[in-house]
Chain A
Amino acid sequence: MTDLTRLTAADLAGRLTSRDVSSVEATQAHLDRIAAVEPALHSFLYVNGDEALATARDVDSRRAAGEKLHALAGVPIAIKDIVVTKGMPTTAGSKILEGWIPPYDATITTRIRAAGLPILGKTNMDEFAMGSSTEHSAFGNTHNPWDLDRIPGGSGGGSAAAVAAYEAPLAIGTDTGGSIRQPAAVTGTVGVKPTYGGVSRYGLIALASSLDQAGPVTRTVLDSALLHELIGGHDPRDSTSIDEPLPGLVAAARQGRSGDLTGMRVGVISELTGEGYQPGVRARFTESLEVLRGAGAEIVEVSCPHFTYALGAYYLILPSEASSNLAKFDGMRFGLRVEPSEGKVTAESVMGATRGAGFGDEVKRRIILGTYALSAGYYDAYYGSAQKVRTLIQRDFAAAFAQTDVLVSPTTPTTAFKLGEKLDDPLAMYLNDVATIPANLAGIPGLSVPNGLSDDGLPVGFQVLAPAKADDRLYRVGAALEALLEAQWGGPILAKAPELEVAR
């Protein structure tokens, strides 16, 4: 019998629709896989087996009754632990939320439940999505399935590792500066950050409200499109949600798989290549450009001069918003509550003790940065200037998109680094996101698709960026590159990953 965990979501959905397999079988297969590889990976913070199987049974019986179901009904999914799930623990990777059971569902959770996708569990992440390695999780790090001594990327390392290791065909990630795309790149998976406002943020535990966006984490571009169409679209509960229908994403992915990009203008951002990029990363990128050219795309070089300031602006805007967003974690209403070990027990001292004990170092570092940047007398110099840079970056993109349909770059400068390698060097860690951050600052969509292995045998990601609300272009170009590269490789990149040792 086929290993159901190796199927793409689209294929599994097809087999479920034809009643070739049941959702219970598919869900159980993934739960078995989770049980087998979790000791090595630690992708999950919570496994939701009973409820997932209950959903699967329900979908199977509805399908048997002839009910018209969503295309992905019965396909299991993993959700990053920053998305609130009613009745399921949600920690955002932080001790301060340990044991908190949300009394409500995020809009994307509601949509996933309504479509009948069994929720396998909640995936590991850097605390409050602050990090690029998942090492800042308060509950232990996740390992990269390609090399267990390496990071799976971050902050959504759990979702990426789960998908890469066949623990789930689909996962939800969130991307504030690259937390979907960078883990996708270093685990050989596909990740998409939709246009800001394209997917509801209602029920995402906010890191930086003006940058956060949830999106799909999958093994194929088509699967991402399927999931994106499920979770995307207007939500009246999110004021920043775009009140327009999504473009046809699945259709664009299907069109892309033909491998024909005739007439597509592809811009190479000169600031996001060259120095600082690992030779293997550069080599794969150049080869991929040739593949696109071969598919009929026109390759042009564009310059985005203000990208130099993107990282600096990002690390002012993000901590500023985060310092305010994280203020609510104070031990008064939910989550951890710590009374001071000495001195009077007052509201203030409990808040201080709770936050002192509940937040990790990286979170504290950013709260301090943000509080400082917003302070009277510093606001204009820091937060104010950062917002100006943001405008300049948006203009850079606007100018670039005036002459191109999509922009491309390597997703990350390097392949997965070793666990612990950058843990004590925040700046080195931050530099990982240099290519992904500009899209968040501008609110535009971005996709990372695997485009080969570097000299070290580890996967490399290729980033595609499109103008706001033109997410369909990502899928067309991404699917074309994927199809053409897989034809060269003779199969998906993940087939080259080492088999994990399985716990019995």
Chain B
Amino acid sequence: MQLIQLSDWLLDIAFVLYVLSSIVFVVAMTGKNWAGRDPKQHELKYGRTAYWLAVIGFLAQTGYVVTRWIAGGHSPTSNMFEFIAFLDYCIILAYLIIYRIYKLTVIGMFVLPLGVIMLAYSYVFPKEVTPLIPALQSYWLHIHVTTAALGEGILAVGFAAGLMYLVRTVPQDRATKSTRWLEFVLAVVLMLVGFIGMDSTFARLDHKTVFELNQEQENNQGQMEKMKVEYTLPAIVAPNGSTVVKAGPMTPLFEAPAWMEGKDAARKLNTMLWSVISGLVLYGILRLVFRKRLGAVMQPSLNGIDPELLDEISYRAISIGYPVFTLGALIFAMIWAEEAWGRFWGWDPKEVWALIVWLFYSAYLHLRLSRGWIGAKSAWMSVIGFVIILITLVVVNLVIAGLHSYAGV
């Protein structure tokens, strides 16, 4: 019990340190041209501080992984909270490795905020240490999930570098298709931020809305009763054919379409709507504050950085991450599936999406190596690739479900 407490604290400490590190990284890159400073000196000084903050945060998170592993008796990769936190750990690890190779301060300015968002996202899910259900009781849980997460973490760094390449090179003097898409990507990131903000705020406020559905299910006593759905966020959309049992802060504006069958389908739609709205609001506020495109706001901090180096970092990360991902998310997955389910491949949605990620990065590598897609095209693909990874990790578990649905919430 105390060990679990300790591991929670360590994770909180890591979170705070990553936030601090992100801030210092931003200062290191944007403060270069403040009056009375030598830009090189400034970047070096703050960059080093930020790097060490990240290292200490990483050590704290290592402490979290170890203590939680000991306390729970299994690797902390068995539910959504543990997995996302572990993925975050892998992203930071991949960052530290890439930083050792290239010693480029600006990578941290993009990867550390990504780490903060990922870790914050993990906090949205229930944090309890749960004992393993039979399907997860295998040493392959440790091997398959950790390797897959490591591969995805390295690919995430490839995404960050690709995004940096785009921010650095997309001309911001006039609106083009590229600037619009870049703004779109940044807005999507803000939607994730908005969702995390909304969810953690309302989870503390306890303004729950409860609906009763027109469907019945067996409760623990073996009696049939009407299904209930609880919304943490205010209800924009109500489940189809439901009645409000406990009113929340707002009355639902409309009902979900009838084909959204699952018990939680409408709740998920509601959450998605709030993410989009809050992300767009955040984006709007930032646009009003800066009075220019967010890409244009970020561009100056990347001035003077060789875009080719960014392109190479992105490619390097992907070419290291791809084999690791293949091993963890496909090969180890197949071996485990053969053992647990009697078949190495069953076209389960999660399996299919892992294959989709793999096919996508295969296409990326072929386009790059054989068709000479470098620079902007390659950077866009690294961004799309990470979006597909996020779909695989989040959407498939939360929306599509399947055999891997135990990890969902």
* A in complex with B: no
> Which residues of B line the A interface, CB within 8 A?
none
> Which residues of A line the B interface, CB within 8 A?
none
